[in-house]
Amino acid sequence: MSFIIREIEENDFDNGFFETLSNLSAVGGIKTNEVLKKEIIKEIITNKDYVIIISEDTKSREVIGTATLFIEQKFIHNGGKVGHIEDVATRKGYEGRGIGKEIMNKLITISRERGCYKIILDCDEKVSKFYEKIGFKKKAIMLRFDL
């Protein structure tokens, strides 16, 4: 299988981005809200500390994987930066083909290039082995407060 990894573009909305993301979690009404989609994509593209990576099938241009990286500037660690990875998803039917691993490797590379001293992510226990194979280690307890 042949695929490429690149940053998100507006036309990805029509090429299966939300279908791929929905393999991770419910997407909701944003799929049909053109105004909101345009506002969000504009914010993401202009914010250099926020990147969504897309994996694309080279034949169909269909989005088959995605993940988000947000880079946080810190006061500690001499003003170091932390990469936060979110929303890693592979399109249903494309699991197990190395797409997620390649996307994660790309996000690790971007984090290094941008001067991050660590990368963190939260995940469900059932997928933690995937991240551990890449080199992530269980380090802390994640707590959450729902609003």
DSSP string, 80-100: -EEEEEEEEEE-TT-TTSSHH
Domain parsing of the chain, residue ranges: 3-134
Residue 87 backbone zone (phi > 0: left; psi -120 to 50: alpha; other: beta): left
Distance CA 4, CA 54 (A): 8
Q: What is the pLDDT of residues 122-145, one digit of tens each?
A: 999 999 999 999 999 999 898 989
Q: What is the pLDDT of residue 100?
A: 94
Sign for the CA dihedral angle at 127, 121, 107, 35 comes to positive
Distance CA 12, CA 47 (A): 18
Q: What is the pLDDT of residue 113?
A: 95
For the structural domain made of 3-134, what CATH number should be given?
Answer: 3.40.630.30
Residue 51 backbone zone (phi > 0: left; psi -120 to 50: alpha; other: beta): beta
Q: Which pTM does this prediction carry?
A: 0.90
Contact call for residues 41 and 78 (beta carbons, < 8 A): no
Q: What is the pLDDT of residues 63-118, one digit of tens each?
A: 999 999 999 999 999 999 999 999 999 999 999 999 999 999 999 999 999 999 99
